Amino acid sequence: MACGNYGRLTSAALDPVEKKPLAEWMPGSYVLSVGSYGCNLACPFCQNHVIAAAREDSVPWRFVAPGDLVDAACRLKARGNVGIAFTYNEPLVGWEYVRDTARLAHEHDLKVVVVSNGVVCGDVWHELLPLVDACNIDLKAASNEGYERLGAGVFDTVVGTIAAAADCPTCHVEVTTLCAPGFVDGRAVDRIARLLASIDPSIPYHLTQYVPRFRMADVPALPDAEVRSYADIARNSLAHVYIGNM
């Protein structure tokens, strides 16, 4: 699973937690958000393809040891920082760095956030979950066939990742679907929302507007009204539905 990117950071920013997105966890606070490079999917609409599709020799990176990242996060407490978020690329391709940093972070009274596509083996996720205070997991398609178009037929794996997080009493979980044209429609959103409701109908669910990028740079976004109609469909099954990027 590891892709040799341990501690190699390509990006860092102090972001509002709402940007992760997390709508119902420590609202109004900030989190030091860091990314490395690499991903285990190949989404043609990837918003972060510059780092997600990169290798060690194709993107600038800087090694930051877990202790140094925790020190930086502690210094930022004065600016409202509550912890460290592993995000931007797929953080769990370098899960050992997440684990080692998270252990140290908790010793320094910092929260740990993971923003992931959910493609992670169950053993690793169960080892990490007690170290994760909040996560946002993407559910990018409503079927295995949909996921095959993103690089791997991992629908059941992602659903299992969400269910395990929802079952963990110390981890807050939210779920996001990007409304990418040709990949998500109202029927897909209905299926996803019903599935999430069967796990926990109180799971916060985000539908985010797509921005033309990467291999879909010439594909225009869906009209905002269509994304709003998807949210209305999701609300038939879920109590907390949010729209983002509009």
Residues contributing to the site for ligand SF4 (CB under 6 A): 39, 41-43, 46, 48, 52, 89-90, 117
Instruction: Give the start-end residues of each E strand in 149-199.
Output: 172-179
For residue 206, how many C-alpha atoms fall within 13 Å in the half-sphere facing its CB? 23
Nearer Cβ to ligand SF4, position 36 or 48? Answer: 48
Shortest reach from residue 239's CB to ligand SF4, in Å: 26
Among candidates 94, 95, 113, which has minimal Cα distance to 105? 113
Among candidates 182, 184, 193, 227, which has minimal Cα distance to 209? 227
Nearer Cβ to ligand SF4, position 147 or 205? Answer: 147
Dihedral, CA atoms, 182, 188, 193, 194, nearest 10 degrees?
Answer: -170
C-alpha 93/C-alpha 51 separation (Å) is 13
Shortest reach from residue 107's CB to ligand SF4, in Å: 29
Shortest reach from residue 15's CB to ligand SF4, in Å: 16
Nearer Cβ to ligand SF4, position 81 or 161? Answer: 161
Handedness of CA 31, 20, 113, 232 (dihedral sign): positive
Shortest reach from residue 88's CB to ligand SF4, in Å: 8
Nearer Cβ to ligand SF4, position 31 or 41? Answer: 41
Shortest reach from residue 46's CB to ligand SF4, in Å: 3
Nearer Cβ to ligand SF4, position 90 or 174? Answer: 90
